[in-house]
Structure 1
């Protein structure tokens, strides 16, 4: 069971409880279901959905032109045959990591502060993986036969090339998406039943009733729910590490300067968690402000996520340092040129390189200071800066290494076109459009888990605790 200090806060963070005071089963359910079942639609929600939908239309236009004219509309050339499509694919996969980390690993570690943010972080994972999965398919040239990448029996005796990193990605991403979807949906079952019982609209009752799969809250239902939830968490945990490790193989298994390094798998995973938590903060801060959820997404949640960002950011910085060190220590002239010479730091893409250093290493150091972690405006800006920096990192890794390979006669700079940018911005629109619809039709915070947490905190108070934690080690 969770310790008392985990539930209500440890010494040193007494002013930051894990849940606002005075909440009971009823108040938690009333406040969180009201966001979904409220008859009046907020103007801010409509405005956000409208802007996102406009970018979805831009995405559809870009895909239509791509199908009609081919990948020649992008800025690809020889030797840069991987452009924005792979950059954006890796970026979106990284953003999707935080949801599974928060839900699975922190659940297994019994970190109760995950409760307020795990639900929309899981949804963010699904939407980010959906956006990521579009890019390898669109990059195929003939995306309508994407299923050839799967090992299915067929009369043409056509089998995937299992040594290809593209096939690695197909297996990794499809497995990750499937397990994440199951994990998200199983966690939703008690909350869907809650919405079913509280909905006044007959159609809403029917839809939520069907989705809740006959949930009645019996002891047998709860026992099976807990078992399946923990099993899926156990399945999802290795996926957090494996998926971005496999994505890093797209680069690490090659001999291209700047890619051929064994440090890629661990620092890609750390970078994914880094950007994923940055996106969670980018979404959580406006969400709690618009819907007045500060009692549930408290300053302690923001502080903990900021600390995770700081820790993973330091791992990413260490990865950068090791790349440069190995390029120097290994005495490989091609690696030295790329990492320490006119390749990345002083070549044609130097502005991108130094911008990512500023965004991913320098600016996040503000998180060492309490004022930055507890000022929501500063924290929100830092989270956006980190997201920009992680996209720049993927751009630098992909573009610099391919534009300047072993033979100088082959060198050519890559310049993204309007269609590169429109497709990228379009997927951002798809992501936020799905997110706005999710907030409107499903609970963005896990109701049943918040009720359990409110009960635990109230139970501690009834035993004489002041609600902010003590120094003892008693357990629930």
Structure 2
């Protein structure tokens, strides 16, 4: 018994301090980071105010390019939101225990991304009140309503997965963190909903978590498949393809894996969690990123090779503009720097160390966003039935400062949500999800000792 108490005391002093310290201590670096994000958000808020006041005419979107970087952002955020299902569902159900320290970070990223994806769509609509028309006058024939339903479903499931994984640790914060503001104590007490690590609670918790982990898989595949249908069901060069569903899904998993690697590195450095997010995790994620990139490379070749062989009509013009035209520098940057070179470098073990893979993943994420830009914009500028005698500005799309400000603001919101959640809650799961009888006894002793 004394040995168990000593072990729990060690847990409280060393491991608890390492994993809970950031929730109590607020550094100057954290305050400056939050201030920086809020400044970007305020600039974006002013740009959005101008958009509400003057309408979408302040953007560069016209009758040709009716979707701009707002939709590129939407597709990007939807893509990286799949990281939650990749880490917390697929790897968890396969009993890959090495990924356990990454589950909460991936779930936080997924929640932040899907929230921003939903909001950016409302921004793109011009008038926010029109979102309610989509619900009030829904047409089941339209893929748009499918997208609304599947995104809402994925958001709810992602929130539940995150909350359930946090629940035991929120109770731990409630019991252990005493030198914190009253609002924080109230928050932990409210969210913990009387959790006491009782065996029946744990049993129910495991069942519900497993059900959600299974349920999120088809929803995760559906969310990007349905998003791809928004493109594929419109007759446009570059979109008129049956390949878009798996193409989008594979690209989403690759982008999501790169985002989690970037997040791992930053959390590991700034929260001093090298003991918990080890080089082994970067090694495993590096191999996973290579696998996902190879799958995406296959679909990428498949997507462009067919039209490139035919080079017929507007499809040929679209491919020519990507390969050798004004979008060629961006296209080849995406293919080479954002896809092929990362695969090549990550094959070698030295590049799967924390710093090299962090840098490589940044280029993968940048390539993923530029790829979404290339999916949206060039196709819209090559319609099968061009409008006659239009203004020259209709034929080109260069985002205005308002569009860029709102875009950067959406990324600032994404980072702010992640930062606040990491600040409030332990980013590494403290209590194991699978608790045997011995661990349950220890937890009960741990609770009784401090009651």
**TM score, norm. by length of structure 1:** 0.84
Matched, 1:414 2:394: no
What does residue range 16-415 of structure 1 map to in structure 2 within 5 Å?
A: 25-26=11-12, 27-36=14-23, 38=24, 40-151=25-136, 159-200=137-178, 201=180, 203=182, 204-328=184-308, 332-339=312-319, 342-365=320-343, 366-374=345-353, 376-407=354-385, 412-415=395-398
CA distance in structure 2 between the aligned counterparts of 1:403 and 1:328, rounded to whole angstroms = 18
CA apart distance, 1:25: 4.5
CA distance in structure 1 between the aligned counterparts of 2:10 and 2:310, rounded to whole angstroms = 61
- 2:449 matched to which residue of 1? none
SS of the equivalent of 1:306 reads helix
CA apart distance, 1:343: 2.8
CA apart distance, 1:452: 6.4
CA distance in structure 2 between the aligned counterparts of 1:87 and 1:283, rounded to whole angstroms = 22
CA apart distance, 1:230: 0.4
Q: Assess if the C-alpha contact under 8 Å between 1:76 and 1:82 holds in 2.
A: yes
CA distance in structure 2 between the aligned counterparts of 1:419 and 1:169, rounded to whole angstroms = 26
CA distance in structure 1 between the aligned counterparts of 2:299 and 2:232, rounded to whole angstroms = 14
- 1:426 matched to which residue of 2? 409
CA distance in structure 2 between the aligned counterparts of 1:293 and 1:332, rounded to whole angstroms = 55
CA distance in structure 1 between the aligned counterparts of 2:82 and 2:385, rounded to whole angstroms = 37
CA apart distance, 1:67: 0.8
Which structure has more relative contact order (CA 8 Å, sep 6+)? It is 1
CA apart distance, 1:284: 1.3
Deviations 1:46-77 (A, max 9, x none): 22111111111122112211111111111112
CA distance in structure 2 between the aligned counterparts of 1:137 and 1:217, rounded to whole angstroms = 41
Matched, 1:449 2:432: yes
CA distance in structure 2 between the aligned counterparts of 1:404 and 1:304, rounded to whole angstroms = 42
Query: Which range is displaced more, 159-168 or 262-271?
Result: 159-168
Deviations 1:272-293 (A, max 9, x none): 1111111111121021111110
Moved over 6 A (4+): 450-453
Q: Assess if the C-alpha contact under 8 Å between 1:197 and 1:205 holds in 2.
A: no
CA distance in structure 2 between the aligned counterparts of 1:114 and 1:195, rounded to whole angstroms = 23
CA distance in structure 2 between the aligned counterparts of 1:247 and 1:393, rounded to whole angstroms = 15
Query: Which range is displaced more, 67-76 or 406-415?
Result: 406-415
- 1:10 matched to which residue of 2? none
CA apart distance, 1:256: 0.5
Query: Which range is displaced more, 71-80 or 186-195?
Result: 71-80
CA distance in structure 2 between the aligned counterparts of 1:42 and 1:363, rounded to whole angstroms = 38
CA gap 1:149/1:409 in 2 versus in 1, 3 angstroms: closer
- For the aligned residue pairs, the C-alpha RMSD in angstroms reads 2.1
The structure with the greater share of residues assigned to helix is 2
- 2:443 matched to which residue of 1? none
- 1:464 matched to which residue of 2? none
Q: Show structure 2 runs of 5+ residues with no match.
A: 1-8, 389-393, 440-451
CA apart distance, 1:302: 1.1
CA distance in structure 1 between the aligned counterparts of 2:94 and 2:232, rounded to whole angstroms = 31
CA gap 1:331/1:419 in 2 versus in 1, 3 angstroms: closer
- 1:154 matched to which residue of 2? none
Q: Assess if the C-alpha contact under 8 Å between 1:25 and 1:451 holds in 2.
A: no
CA gap 1:144/1:412 in 2 versus in 1, 3 angstroms: same
Q: Assess if the C-alpha contact under 8 Å between 2:75 and 2:372 holds in 1.
A: yes
CA distance in structure 2 between the aligned counterparts of 1:358 and 1:290, rounded to whole angstroms = 31
Deviations 1:143-172 (A, max 9, x none): 123122125xxxxxxx21223232222112
CA distance in structure 1 between the aligned counterparts of 2:299 and 2:275, rounded to whole angstroms = 37
Q: Assess if the C-alpha contact under 8 Å between 1:98 and 1:276 holds in 2.
A: yes
Q: Assess if the C-alpha contact under 8 Å between 2:59 and 2:399 holds in 1.
A: yes
CA distance in structure 1 between the aligned counterparts of 2:181 and 2:79, rounded to whole angstroms = 40
Q: Show structure 1 runs of 5+ residues with no match.
A: 1-22, 152-158, 457-476
Q: Assess if the C-alpha contact under 8 Å between 1:83 and 1:398 holds in 2.
A: yes
Q: Assess if the C-alpha contact under 8 Å between 2:282 and 2:352 holds in 1.
A: yes
